[in-house]
Amino acid sequence: MKPTHPDHAPPADAAARRAIKPVICYPVETLPRPDLAALRRARAGWTKTAEVIVPAREANFFEVPAGSFFRIVSIDGPQVGDLNLWSLQDLNERFYSGKTRALHGTHLSTGDQLWSSIPYLRPMATITEDTLDWYGIDEHGGSVHDVIGTRCDPYTHHLLSGGETYHHCCHSNLTRALAEETGLMKHACEFHVHDVLNVFMCTGFTRDTGQYFMKASPVRPGDYLEFFAEIDLGGALSACPGGDCSSEHSSDAAACYPLKIEIYRPQDRPEGWGSPAQNGYDRTHGCDLD
């Protein structure tokens, strides 16, 4: 955090330096864009192929073939979900929250894509419907579906609580779900768990101190976030122990509800759509050595 009383006096031209207009780091005008209308048309006559319930304070694994859709649905009460995504063929290719944020902003909605990690860096999923898109950005700078948080985890909780142990943080829930699915040891699995898309969570940064904040999610039963799978996906979703994240997480204090995942297969692949190839950069990094 920035000091209230800086050690160093501002220079004579401080005001001029501060007044410089910002430029967007990653203008996305040249980014290949999904044909959202074609994706949405492909929903007509689709078939629901699976439903997965994520119990409160637990996580569950699910699979979505490339070309299918999945929805994360609020069912019994306001509840935040922490989402991890991997390539079904290679756990090393996983959702890259930081680059997704750099490209699409701090909070995602319809038309935004979830990008995979370097060196793959391609769209893993495209958001095709967001029933909370009406929320926008509130007076506190808060919004929903962020890629600025990480995931609640027992290590940070251990540090902040003076040594307490809690086993149902999203990091642990996602680790158990992946271990049960893959048969990998839990210690191996936790290295595959990564920064999440915070589905339905309402977050921002305080304007005065720049601190990460959360507030009660506006999600209500019936709301959903819908994705189109650009590649074969393995996903894990945790129903965060923070519930609607209005007070605290990393404990059993908050009211918590399950979440539902619905998977839909379209009759035909969307017009003009093909599963994206891995990133085309040649990976030489300007280096002659092997």
Q: Are 175 and 189 in contact (CB under 8 A)?
A: yes
Least distance in angstroms from the C-beta of 240 to Zn ion:
3
Q: Which residues bind Zn ion (CB under 5 A)?
A: 152, 170, 240
Least distance in angstroms from the C-beta of 39 to Zn ion:
29
Q: Are 170 and 82 in contact (CB under 8 A)?
A: yes
- CA 74 to each of CA 30, 56, 134, 191, 252: distance values in angstroms, whole numbers, following the listed order: 35, 12, 16, 28, 20
Least distance in angstroms from the C-beta of 120 to Zn ion:
26
Give the residue with the Cβ less far from Zn ion, 85 or 152. Answer: 152
Least distance in angstroms from the C-beta of 107 to Zn ion:
17
Give the residue with the Cβ less far from Zn ion, 144 or 240. Answer: 240
Element (H, E) at 270: none
- Give the number of other Cβ atoms within 10 Å of residue 215's Cβ: 16
Give the residue with the Cβ less far from Zn ion, 93 or 244. Answer: 244
For residue 256, give the nearest of 88, 79, 130 by alpha carbon. 79
How far is it, in rounded angstroms, from Cα 224 to Cα 93? 26
Give the residue with the Cβ less far from Zn ion, 240 or 261. Answer: 240
Give the residue with the Cβ less far from Zn ion, 132 or 240. Answer: 240
How far is it, in rounded angstroms, from Cα 103 to Cα 289? 31
- CA 57 to each of CA 42, 54, 166, 168: distance values in angstroms, whole numbers, following the listed order: 34, 8, 11, 6
Give the residue with the Cβ less far from Zn ion, 170 or 233. Answer: 170
Give the residue with the Cβ less far from Zn ion, 120 or 257. Answer: 257
Query: Which residue in this structure is represented by tokens 């894509």?
Result: 113
Least distance in angstroms from the C-beta of 72 to Zn ion:
14
For residue 80, give the nearest of 277, 258, 274 by alpha carbon. 258
Least distance in angstroms from the C-beta of 270 to Zn ion:
33
Least distance in angstroms from the C-beta of 32 to Zn ion:
33
Q: Which amino acid is at 133?
A: D
Q: HSE of 285 in the Cβ direction (CA atoms, 13 Å)?
A: 5
Least distance in angstroms from the C-beta of 162 to Zn ion:
20
Q: Are 85 and 195 in contact (CB under 8 A)?
A: no
Query: Which residue in this structure is represented by tokens 């209500």?
Result: 220
Give the residue with the Cβ less far from Zn ion, 26 or 213. Answer: 213
